[in-house]
Structure 1
């Protein structure tokens, strides 16, 4: 009864966001050709006009996180002073990893390095399918899944956790921004900001869900000759919808927590199997070389574009990745904030900015390195297979290992669990964002958002495939990038005010202490003087 009553009390953020997404679903379902045409045009315009803006913005987020981590603000706790973390470290990392990029990493872990291996970035003068192409491909794969990606999640999570747990504000993006508008307009501006955050989140999650659905279909096709078509993909979508909505009924401390631990354990188990049964030394050496190149070329890759050479490689890869993670960031940031209460700013930044990227780079080195070794030294044609069907990349690689059927089946199961975890987390966060920051959103809210995420994902796949998924993230992320920058400046201003207040309070306490000490000394001297006075 309470859920039903609260459902009818949803504000404009819920209804406007839901209607916008629903209209997109209807458009894509009724006239998919028109939807695909517009999506392609918008994608081209956005990458050409704003690619530079995405690159510079993410560099700013990296620098901002690094500054806070080493500054005096790093010791500030995301909660009340003395509060301890809510979740153990392993569970915390598992939640971050699963929600952050689990399914995306499984999809691109082999596909990205092998795609770059066959078609190296323009401007480097490297021939495809050579040793130099492999080094460059691994380095750029590290770059795309490394610190830059997680700096965006860190910024949003940090800002939201700070204002939510130290300033006792609601768990909303709008609560982290000072709009500077008159009081009578603040409410409407905050509503617009929250609506943009919700739409960006839905598009970002739908992109990842779409990748996973395509990969599951690709794996089933490769293993069991199941057709790759819209009907199968819709069936997979419906099955996943039932699974993650079932999981969402158990709450954060049961469904998401247990699935996150299972995700991390299965992923690590699969990775270790490939590492030790594959070319172990080659993989470790490849990781070492790529890590060194990543560090050495960190700045160059951060600003790399090709205005003189032309081409779309940077726009199709780096710009898309940054837009994708920015679109993801309201969801991931809200979730990171929710599970990071009690940790210090420094601990959260180092934990979020280092551990998940490190795991991602190891994953890419293991699976991408194994695929490189097979193509370069054993005469396989994994790169050609990936060029024909990017969704089959992981399964083509696993075919060269013992227990192929078991490993491939386990991989499909892992993808499903990752998708369920991400979508479950997303429905929780979206419900929270559209119910005025309620930390226990209603089942009605989660059901609505879970259904809309599945629907928009299916529409994007059927109408435009990968191109549609990329367009959704790219366009929805553009206005939210500006919001993220404002959030950073607002956090910094608040931290400075807190620091000044802390210094004033510290000086006041010191003066009071000195005054108290002085008074005690005066009292002691007075007593001694009285004791030394001769008695008559």
Structure 2
């Protein structure tokens, strides 16, 4: 088998680290567990303050960006439209983000904060209020702000500025062309390893919950061997799903599990203390808003406690280690939305769903513990956390049916997290290819399962959670610099918009043959081969002519090829950014109104290619397929004129 379609160093570097981790955990689990413990303690002790400050900064940065005029910038060319409806988009966001976690912690976390609170008397009304306020804090806006930083950077630089959809692309404003070298490869390797660690945490929680479901329904023993077998089965299912691609597999599963989640919540709301849960939801929202700023920066500096490391810092590390996966995934499905739409959707829609979920399950558990269970639920959670959900079902009618629904939900969340993670890692290790080759997707789906299994052998859930905390250390620093990259890129948009106000150069060759040829190109929906040939011939000839004329006038310019793209680069001197005019094939869906039999063409295809123009600031959003040589030259000259004006406006 030829290893085609990969970025060699990120792929082999990540694969070696991942396989070595699996081997180390399997061959010497005691040593692996001890090493993870030492590293975990160091990270929490030395970097805990930085985790808290960074996450608070992410929230402030994104909220300011969402309400600023820069929120109108589209993640793609100006005329682009979203690939998915709002409902499908939110379902895919949530299923990839933290679906397994809310099922596992839906009862367990509120009950643990209620029975062992950091700042109140155990079992008191204040402990109940704090329990939900803290849980909302851990699973709300702050968690999704971490994902949004990564997702926004990737979507902006990938779809707006034409960079590959990989982590290194967000660093081009800071590192320039060095992102194409070993430094960029190392950034992508960090991203892959962090993704594997964060994903393994979710898979570890998921398999523990699946095992608990089997124990409740079938009397299945809760052992490591059973959990390894479950990981193997679900990994095979995920491998089959990831092979079907984003639209056919992950999209349909995401929509199904969102519906199933609402069905389960609705049943619990009806069967449980409905009035109390509705009242609690209203109060929980107020408590969350009231404590939002205080908890953001509350690291217990004056009253040191292990609680903040076991809970808040663990969550921030988990979200950061998982952010390359979730961030790249939500970027992949968010093309065409404005920054404001992206941020408001990512920050508030899944967070709002989580708040509803934790109110229904968490407040129900607290109410039962106080009224009908006599503290039994708190004792069950302390002894066997994965079984917490089923302890609540015991006090409701139709408990077996509820357990079946919960088990199905966990299984599907498990599959969607695993296959979405494999797809994202495959994208990172394939130069940002949005549809990585099949063997690469399958390899990473199997590797994700292998890492989760190896970490369970090395110390169970504790080892899995420690791996996420450790992996977040380098990624937290990377994400801070990402924010600077986003800001620098967006401020360039202001000057670019001003320069675009210059009048456009008239098109050349407006005779009958010219307009007929252009009209034919607009309605033809060409394939990749046609567009590539057009770039190789007509576009290259036009850029050669411009470069030759510049040379004759004593200006530096060069033509370069990069994959299927052709690039004209004009050197403007030391310390001044070069002018770039790049033309490359870009795949787009054929619009529904154009999907006639003739448009579908070869084999019923529903995508076509455009010869899109990219400048240094990204895609200009228009197609020059069908332009003749003189028209392309006129387009280059017009953009060069605008770029010189743009430079004069920069601060």
Q: Is this a same-fold pair by TM over 0.5? A: yes
Given that 1:130 and 1:376 are in contact with CA atoms closer than 8 Å, whether structure 2 keeps it comes out as no
Q: Is 1:454 matched with 2:449?
A: yes
Given that 1:39 and 1:471 are in contact with CA atoms closer than 8 Å, whether structure 2 keeps it comes out as yes
Looking at structure 2, the residues matched to 485 and 185 of structure 1 have their Cα atoms a distance apart, in angstroms, of 17
Looking at structure 2, the residues matched to 447 and 29 of structure 1 have their Cα atoms a distance apart, in angstroms, of 22
Looking at structure 2, the residues matched to 67 and 180 of structure 1 have their Cα atoms a distance apart, in angstroms, of 22
Looking at structure 1, the residues matched to 110 and 179 of structure 2 have their Cα atoms a distance apart, in angstroms, of 49
The 1:78–1:183 alpha-carbon spacing in structure 2 relative to 1, beyond 3 Å, is: closer
Give the match for residue 143 of structure 2. Answer: 149
**Among candidates 11, 17, 21, match of residue 24 of structure 1:** 21
Q: Is 1:273 matched with 2:282?
A: no
Given that 1:96 and 1:356 are in contact with CA atoms closer than 8 Å, whether structure 2 keeps it comes out as yes
Looking at structure 2, the residues matched to 179 and 20 of structure 1 have their Cα atoms a distance apart, in angstroms, of 29
Alpha-carbon deviations, 1:270-303, whole Å to 9, x = none? 0010011111111111112221111111111011
Give the match for residue 66 of structure 1. Answer: 63
Give the match for residue 101 of structure 1. Answer: 98
Looking at structure 2, the residues matched to 227 and 440 of structure 1 have their Cα atoms a distance apart, in angstroms, of 40
Q: How far is the alpha carbon of 1:308 from its aligned partner?
A: 2.8
Aligned residues: 504
Looking at structure 1, the residues matched to 178 and 101 of structure 2 have their Cα atoms a distance apart, in angstroms, of 42
The 1:276–1:503 alpha-carbon spacing in structure 2 relative to 1, beyond 3 Å, is: same
Given that 2:95 and 2:254 are in contact with CA atoms closer than 8 Å, whether structure 1 keeps it comes out as yes
Looking at structure 2, the residues matched to 384 and 144 of structure 1 have their Cα atoms a distance apart, in angstroms, of 23
Looking at structure 2, the residues matched to 179 and 262 of structure 1 have their Cα atoms a distance apart, in angstroms, of 40
Q: Is 1:442 matched with 2:437?
A: yes
Q: Is 1:308 matched with 2:305?
A: no
Give the match for residue 396 of structure 1. Answer: 391
Q: How far is the alpha carbon of 1:111 from its aligned partner?
A: 0.8
Give the match for residue 186 of structure 2. Answer: 192
Looking at structure 2, the residues matched to 441 and 182 of structure 1 have their Cα atoms a distance apart, in angstroms, of 26
Q: How far is the alpha carbon of 1:186 from its aligned partner?
A: 5.1
Give the match for residue 132 of structure 1. Answer: 126
Q: Which moves more between the two structures, 455-464 or 314-323? A: 455-464
Secondary structure class of the residue paired with 2:172: coil
Given that 2:62 and 2:149 are in contact with CA atoms closer than 8 Å, whether structure 1 keeps it comes out as yes
Alpha-carbon deviations, 1:475-520, whole Å to 9, x = none? 11110111111111111111111111212333x359x9xxxxxxxx
Give the match for residue 564 of structure 2. Answer: none
Give the match for residue 520 of structure 1. Answer: none
The 1:503–1:238 alpha-carbon spacing in structure 2 relative to 1, beyond 3 Å, is: same
Q: How far is the alpha carbon of 1:8 from its aligned partner?
A: 8.1
- Structure number with the higher strand fraction is 2
The 1:370–1:327 alpha-carbon spacing in structure 2 relative to 1, beyond 3 Å, is: same
Given that 1:96 and 1:336 are in contact with CA atoms closer than 8 Å, whether structure 2 keeps it comes out as yes
Give the match for residue 320 of structure 1. Answer: 314
Given that 2:165 and 2:433 are in contact with CA atoms closer than 8 Å, whether structure 1 keeps it comes out as yes
Matches within 5 A, 1:21-100: 21-100=18-97
Matches within 5 A, 1:337-356: 337-356=331-350
**Among candidates 293, 306, 309, match of residue 299 of structure 1:** 293
Give the match for residue 501 of structure 1. Answer: 496
Secondary structure class of the residue paired with 1:269: helix
Given that 2:224 and 2:457 are in contact with CA atoms closer than 8 Å, whether structure 1 keeps it comes out as yes
Note the residue ranges of structure 1 that are not aligned, 5 or more in a row.
513-536
Looking at structure 2, the residues matched to 79 and 179 of structure 1 have their Cα atoms a distance apart, in angstroms, of 18
Secondary structure class of the residue paired with 1:5: coil
Given that 2:18 and 2:447 are in contact with CA atoms closer than 8 Å, whether structure 1 keeps it comes out as yes
Q: How far is the alpha carbon of 1:219 from its aligned partner?
A: 2.2
Give the match for residue 511 of structure 2. Answer: none
